[in-house]
Structure 1
Amino acid sequence: MARKYSKSAGKKVEKVMHEFKEGKLVSGRSGKKVKNPKQAIAIGLSEARKSGARVPKKKSS
């Protein structure tokens, strides 16, 4: 079975989580500090998606 997420996407999330744990991760335009780990993962996946990594589509709400 194929991987859902590419290795580069995993690396991007890993990097973003490191920033989150150091308290340096800020959210988009508001520039507020990210306090939720799920939000940090979402930011990492979004950045990976923009850079062209293989990431599943966002779930529409």
Structure 2
Amino acid sequence: MSSLLMSLIRENPLPGLALASLNLIVALVLVSLSLSLGIAVSLLAWAHTFAAREEPARSHVAQRRLA
């Protein structure tokens, strides 16, 4: 039985090519998903840091004028 399947695979390479192209498509989708998630996380971290930044302390010159 296995020799029959092997002979079919040798004579018709299309199923192997289809499987290889499907693997390539899945790999490309996973890489693009990983990159987009990495970019989204970095943008969210940047926005969080930007929103949580405190006002800079007043300079000592401005404090001296008030006193």
Which of the pair is proportionally richer in helix? 2
Larger Rg: 2
Judge same fold: TM > 0.5, yes or no: no
TM-score by length of 1: 0.31
